[in-house]
Structure 1
Amino acid sequence: MKKIYFTLFILMSAIAGMAYLYFSNLTRETSYQETSLYAATANSGLIFCIQNEKSVFEVLKGQHFFRKLLGEEKFGQLSLLKNELMSGPTVSNLIGNHNIFISFAAGKNKEIDYLVSTQLNDELEKPKLITAIQSKGITITTENGILKLALKDSSLFYLNIEKNLILLSNNSELIKTAMVHEPTEENHQFVAYIKSGNKFSKNSLGNLYVDFNKVPAILKSILPGNLNGGLSVFNHQNSFATFNYNFSRERVFFNGNSEIHDPKNYLKLFTALSPQQNSIDNLLPENTANFRLYAMADYNIWKKSLANWFQINKEDQKVNRTIQDFNKEYHLNTADIFPAYFKNQFITFQLKSSENLAAVNLTNGDKVKQFLLDMSDDYNPDIKRFKKSGLLYCYFGEPFKQFSRPYYAIIDNNMIVSNQPAALSSFLEAYRSNKLLINTQDYINIYSQISKTANITYYINRKNSGDLVRKTIYLPYYNHYINKQGLEGFSSFVYQLSGDKGEFQTNLLLNTIPEISPDTLENLTNK
């Protein structure tokens, strides 16, 4: 389930990220101001910086994805916030050339709250801002030292102006913590990362910044239970990411980079590799819900990094014992199997029915099949099972930890594994019948928009993942997931990580179902 959790978080980030677009016409120039930036990072690991494009809002009016991604309630709140509080030349001039940061954090009752932080040109202009707000018919009272704003429709917002720092939120608690927050070393690092990431924003409409250290708190507003099992990937993941928004009327596309600071993180094994053309996804059945694909140019070079990763995670001795036990019991050298005949890609994937499988591409499947004969039991003529546990994990690491003693089948130089033989039988039937994901219209369409060259690729099919999502997120978020006015219009998305000298270049694409005009639909019906 790790794949679906990760992609759910990425999807949620993209949904939240669209919020910044409503504020984009308020700025004149781009300049980072640390007081508002530190306030933004006090509660949140999702930070948005508004760029200085005057016509952004007008351009984005034509993109109907905004309302669908954000949802009716948050769309309505942010519409009011922009139109009733922050629009108009007076407020715009008082803010001047300062950036506007919007951060999202976990709230009460499974809600996600937001904080807007920016600055006045001059702290002496605070009375002018208050007057400008009151001129719009907004009632201002004081509650526990924070200004409470009541709009004509009874909507409530909270405002605090301390010196020239402006904090605005739907939750007064976010303002309080931002006001008294003493920056930690982690915050200093994140702020430094955001400031250095400014070089990516010069040609972008806006930027989303992610501090994965603070992701668990946000996820708990969406997902029940503790962050264990598949969700443990988000615990203590010391990494940052930045995404640039790229406007399109047909899809939602972000690109940027990611930095992973934790040497225990498995993904770090791919940060220095050159991106590879992906092809192992060609064997996936059409009912695939999600997958995670890994690619490398040279396994023997990568294996040295894997050995170091085992050592850092204090598993090197266990791995060595497992390999020695296999070699001793079956009188062979397992290094002559996968290191010798592995090609360059492996993949883990989940079917619509929730079964998990994985595949490894090989240079010579027949040879591997012969090597594995003595260490395998027959399930049926096509499917076998390892007699001992742990071999695949020793040579490929974390993605294969869940496949300790799997069933497997080798076909067309690919080894497919699963813990359920029925899942393998289902896979083989779909593969031999050519009922494959690559033949679906959406999959063809999504890769006409983005390159298939990467080191790591996450994919989720929205429709095939419906039942899986229903079991893992709270009902309000699931309702938005299946709502025609929500995420139903999105068909799938791809998240790519490509090695770049110790970092990742990243792409995130949310694809849509092409709309069919009434005339076209009538013509198709009449045929």
Structure 2
Amino acid sequence: MRNTIILTIVLFIAVIGASIYYFSDLHGEKKEVLRPLTFLPRETFLISTFHNDATTDNIFKDFEIFEALVGKAEMSQWKVWKDKLLRNTILQPYVNDADMYVSFHPEKEKIVSLITVPTAETIAPETLAALMEETAKTFKISEKDSLGARIYQFDKGVKDSIFHVVYHKNIFFASYSDSLIYKVIDNKQPKLGKKAIDYFVENNSRNSPLSVYFVHEQINAISTQLLRKKPGSFLQLFDSLGGQSAWNLNFKNDALILSGESETDKDLTHYLETFSHQAKTTQRLFNYFPENTASYLSFAVSNSGRFEADLKTMFERRGEWEKLSASFQDLERRSGMSMENDIRGIFGNEFAVLEQSNQTSIGFITLNDSSALSKNIDKIASEVGDSIFRFDYANIPYALFGDPLKSFSRPYFVRLGNTIALANSMSLLQNLRQDWRRENLLINTLGFKNFEKIQGNEANITYFQRTRTSATLLNNLLKPAFSRNFQNEDDFGYQDFYSWSAQISGNNGDFLSSIYAIYKSKNALGATPDWTYEFDNRPITAPWVFEHSDTSQFILIQEQDHRVHGIHPSGKKLWSAVFHGRVVGDAQQLADRSIVLVTDRNQLYRFDTHGNGFPGFSLHLSDEPTYTPTIAELDGQQLILIPAGKKLLVHAVDGKKVGDWEALTLAGKILFDVKVRDNFVYLGTDNGHFYKLDAKGNVISEETLDGSFFRSPIAVVDGENKSSAIVALDTTSTLVTIRFDQNPTKRKIGAWGNRALISLDGERTQTAKRLIAIAEKKLFVTGLPDGNPIFEYTFTQSVTDRPQIFKNTTFGDLIGISSRENTLLYLFDEKGNVIDGFPIEALPQFYFGKIDYNSATYLLCVRRDKKLYAFKN
């Protein structure tokens, strides 16, 4: 597991470099870029350079990532130096046309920074003296001469915070380290190489607010500086790589993204060079990785022929080919299987190695021809039990794919879908297979879903590390000073980074490269609630938001002991009362603001916004309600129509029974709620009987679909000649339209199976526009009444909760999906886009919209701690 830290260290330093950007306020064209870099010591870990415009402070002042990395105390100091030095009116004319650099260098048990600011013209001694005199109003200033230069020391009166500044060769160099200043102005000290500087100058982008430069040979020095122990095998892939990288910043408030180009020494004894002539391609192996993955290194080949040729060249130049070739011949002699003609064709173009939180490693290889593997597996491997095999010959994975799989000399392997997993022990594969069957996978975690949205999966090489699953290891590997910073959540925010990653793709002999640091922003939706409300038991309904008075609204929700809570939009308790039974369907509000709901104990409730029941309520019903009541006006009277299995119970809003509705004989159980439109009542039953009733409960029309079965709600749509029609979906995914005055029409719109979960987004008295179907892992949204598809979406786990509809939000009409298996909430707009900030980790059934008349949009959801959370969007 030492491997997990290596690239993290490089990324860690890179992001620290980016954070000093906030310190600047400079503007200028590309000018004298090369000269300031020539003074930097050879042991420069990283360089960042930037220019500025008038919007810089506004962009970066709320960028939490910078403060999380640099630390609150350090950021505070930088702001002081920025305001008192760089913003000083005396200095401004000399630096406004300059680029600024911040570089990082090793020093004992820490890493120190150097700020480099060239001036447009020479500053006269008297002007410099005036600057020092002006600055002395804030700092105690002393000075000394060394190596022919005058070094100024700015003392703010805080321990270890003396800032050393020298003006040398028309360049300001500033650092908290005086020894680093001496290295800069000492011509005898080794400096940064010319080849690296030329590459940085060539790749400097004036279109990016910040660029980062990195010399690859510093990887070993960085690991030595930060680690207590020798790094692991992942580092060997980057060891002695040679060359350098130049990256530019892409701004995002919940991620730091650096992308650019890398060149190497093009030494084909180095494994990564075998990818330099590849091109980015889709990587899919991460779909197989278990949830406890701490880090992984994944590879995808776009040109198999070129990769195989370059891999052979690498083996030859290392002096390994002769031995490998002899083993291939031995394998062919024994098994009759040729490595080149038979075995290589079995396997695909993706492979990976991951490390788990328990410090174990697993390899993965895709299959190109699974039937060929099944046919020939007994020629190259032996079954050791439980459908797990072991290669009979050594170094097959290494010969096929090179260094990443070298540690799997004669591994055990098991097939998972179109992939085999490799390990050096059977138990690892048994556990992996169990995770696979239970869908206990990395892709089902909230953090990885957010990571995927930012990074994507097009590359040749991807390195990924999760902070949470690697935190203990990182603490143990880092030297004490760095470990303390990593753990210090008061001053730093390293624990708030979900992951660190890098992607590399071949580019005609060189590479395209990107670095990603995904941050769990405290301002992100679902991170910091405006308030929480705690229950004694788990809530069992979605939160509903209703009017409370002319000036405010309130939230209604029921918990497991059947207690119903009224909650103020501020999160304060208004009232609570125990109801008899669990709420069936949804609660609804009448025009007078009273609330109507039914429970599974045959109770009908009507109560005011203070929780007080109306006279005559609660009311015992003759039968158990089966879904949400429909409240509508029929013949001028407001009625409550309650589905109750094969009966339709109808009461006036005062609780009295109306007419003889219970005499209505239905041939099956009512499908969910009933619809009311134009003084008619529409309903359907599970066995294919559909009814149009008048305002007295008399059957006006009935349509029977023999042999059809239904498990989904009905909807009312506009028919011909201003008439209304019922649409319903049967258990064969056939959309049926019942017009009553002509034969029903049927249209097959899917193959979703009879367990599909269906919602329709029309209100009970309005026309439905969309049908939303969940079939295991897939979401299908279809237009009504035409049945034309609108969009689809595939989840990583089966969804077992019916879709929710949120009408008339600031984002339009939205579809809410709750994934119970991995406790994730999704929200889709009308075009099928996931609303920014989602998915969110919470239990099924939630609310999204305003919670008061003039409030912002909120997400109301419940988590495993039995609290209602209010997150402002």
Instruction: Tell me whether the two structures share a fold, i.e. TM-score over 0.5.
Output: yes
Indicate if the aligned counterparts of 1:355 and 1:420 stay in contact, CA closer than 8 A: no
The corresponding residue for 2:495 is 488
Confirm or deny that 1:179 pairs with 2:185: yes
The corresponding residue for 2:296 is 291
Q: Alignment RMSD, CA only?
A: 2.5
The corresponding residue for 1:197 is 203
The corresponding residue for 1:249 is 253
Q: Give the Å deviation of 1:327.
A: 2.0
Q: Give the Å deviation of 1:396.
A: 0.5
The 1:486–1:420 alpha-carbon spacing in structure 2 relative to 1, beyond 3 Å, is same
Q: Map 1:28-427 onto structure 2 (within 5 A).
A: 28-40=28-40, 42-108=42-108, 110-137=109-136, 138=139, 139-142=141-144, 144=146, 147-154=151-158, 155-181=161-187, 187-198=193-204, 201-226=205-230, 229-263=233-267, 264-427=269-432
Deviations 1:413-461 (CA, angstroms, capped at 9, x unpaired): 2111012222211111101111111111121122122321111111111
Q: Give the Å deviation of 1:130.
A: 4.1
How far apart, in 2, do the equivalents of 1:285 and 1:369 lie?
25
How far apart, in 1, do the equivalents of 2:15 and 2:274 lie?
29
The 1:228–1:288 alpha-carbon spacing in structure 2 relative to 1, beyond 3 Å, is closer
Structure 1 segments unaligned to the other structure (5+ residues): none
How far apart, in 2, do the equivalents of 1:83 and 1:220 lie?
36
Indicate if the aligned counterparts of 1:403 and 1:417 stay in contact, CA closer than 8 A: yes
The 1:388–1:341 alpha-carbon spacing in structure 2 relative to 1, beyond 3 Å, is closer
How far apart, in 2, do the equivalents of 1:214 and 1:38 lie?
17
Q: Describe the SS at the equivalent of 2:454.
A: coil
How far apart, in 2, do the equivalents of 1:165 and 1:83 lie?
19
**224-233 or 237-246: bigger deviation:** 224-233
Q: Give the Å deviation of 1:204.
A: 0.7
Indicate if the aligned counterparts of 1:365 and 1:411 stay in contact, CA closer than 8 A: no
Indicate if the aligned counterparts of 1:492 and 1:511 stay in contact, CA closer than 8 A: yes
The partner residue of 1:449 within 443, 446, 454 is 454
The amino acid of 2:508's aligned partner reads: K
Structure 2 segments unaligned to the other structure (5+ residues): 534-859
Indicate if the aligned counterparts of 1:42 and 1:181 stay in contact, CA closer than 8 A: no
The corresponding residue for 1:518 is 529
Indicate if the aligned counterparts of 1:365 and 1:415 stay in contact, CA closer than 8 A: no
How far apart, in 1, do the equivalents of 2:41 and 2:428 lie?
45
How far apart, in 2, do the equivalents of 1:407 and 1:286 lie?
21
Deviations 1:367-411 (CA, angstroms, capped at 9, x unpaired): 224433244343322222223321211110010111112111122
Q: How many residues align?
A: 524
Q: Describe the SS at the equivalent of 1:372.
A: helix
The corresponding residue for 2:683 is none
The corresponding residue for 1:13 is 13
Indicate if the aligned counterparts of 2:208 and 2:248 stay in contact, CA closer than 8 A: yes
The amino acid of 1:23's aligned partner reads: F
**82-91 or 388-397: bigger deviation:** 82-91
The 1:304–1:131 alpha-carbon spacing in structure 2 relative to 1, beyond 3 Å, is same
The corresponding residue for 1:497 is 504
Q: Describe the SS at the equivalent of 1:511.
A: strand
How far apart, in 2, do the equivalents of 1:9 and 1:176 lie?
27
Indicate if the aligned counterparts of 1:274 and 1:499 stay in contact, CA closer than 8 A: yes
The 1:135–1:57 alpha-carbon spacing in structure 2 relative to 1, beyond 3 Å, is same
How far apart, in 2, do the equivalents of 1:72 and 1:318 lie?
57
The amino acid of 2:300's aligned partner reads: A
How far apart, in 2, do the equivalents of 1:61 and 1:239 lie?
35
Deviations 1:129-174 (CA, angstroms, capped at 9, x unpaired): 3431332223122165552413232421222222313221121222
How far apart, in 2, do the equivalents of 1:41 and 1:254 lie?
24
Q: Describe the SS at the equivalent of 2:312.
A: helix
Q: Give the Å deviation of 1:77.
A: 4.4
How far apart, in 2, do the equivalents of 1:379 and 1:366 lie?
20
The corresponding residue for 2:723 is none
The amino acid of 1:151's aligned partner reads: D
Deviations 1:181-212 (CA, angstroms, capped at 9, x unpaired): 469797100010011002xx122111000001
Q: Describe the SS at the equivalent of 2:124.
A: helix
Larger radius of gyration: 2
Q: Describe the SS at the equivalent of 1:209.
A: strand
Q: Give the Å deviation of 1:32.
A: 3.1
Deviations 1:434-490 (CA, angstroms, capped at 9, x unpaired): 111111112112212232111111111111122332332223333433443411221
The amino acid of 1:504's aligned partner reads: F
More relative contact order, 1 or 2 (CA 8 Å, 6+ apart):
1
Q: Give the Å deviation of 1:350.
A: 0.9
Indicate if the aligned counterparts of 2:34 and 2:201 stay in contact, CA closer than 8 A: no
How far apart, in 2, do the equivalents of 1:366 and 1:407 lie?
19
How far apart, in 2, do the equivalents of 1:408 and 1:98 lie?
58
The 1:389–1:211 alpha-carbon spacing in structure 2 relative to 1, beyond 3 Å, is same
How far apart, in 1, do the equivalents of 2:431 and 2:145 lie?
62
How far apart, in 1, do the equivalents of 2:185 and 2:419 lie?
57
The amino acid of 2:202's aligned partner reads: S
Confirm or deny that 1:508 pairs with 2:508: no
Q: Give the Å deviation of 1:500.
A: 2.0
How far apart, in 1, do the equivalents of 2:254 and 2:201 lie?
31
Indicate if the aligned counterparts of 2:411 and 2:422 stay in contact, CA closer than 8 A: yes
Indicate if the aligned counterparts of 1:280 and 1:361 stay in contact, CA closer than 8 A: yes
How far apart, in 2, do the equivalents of 1:21 and 1:330 lie?
62
How far apart, in 1, do the equivalents of 2:266 and 2:414 lie?
35
How far apart, in 2, do the equivalents of 1:255 and 1:24 lie?
21
The corresponding residue for 2:694 is none
Indicate if the aligned counterparts of 2:18 and 2:212 stay in contact, CA closer than 8 A: no
How far apart, in 2, do the equivalents of 1:404 and 1:468 lie?
26
How far apart, in 2, do the equivalents of 1:85 and 1:43 lie?
27
How far apart, in 2, do the equivalents of 1:419 and 1:273 lie?
30
Q: Give the Å deviation of 1:62.
A: 1.6
The amino acid of 2:26's aligned partner reads: L
The amino acid of 1:99's aligned partner reads: D
Deviations 1:336-388 (CA, angstroms, capped at 9, x unpaired): 44421222211111111111111000023342244332443433222222233
Indicate if the aligned counterparts of 2:296 and 2:352 stay in contact, CA closer than 8 A: yes
TM-score, with length taken from structure 2: 0.57
Q: Matched residues, percent identical?
A: 21
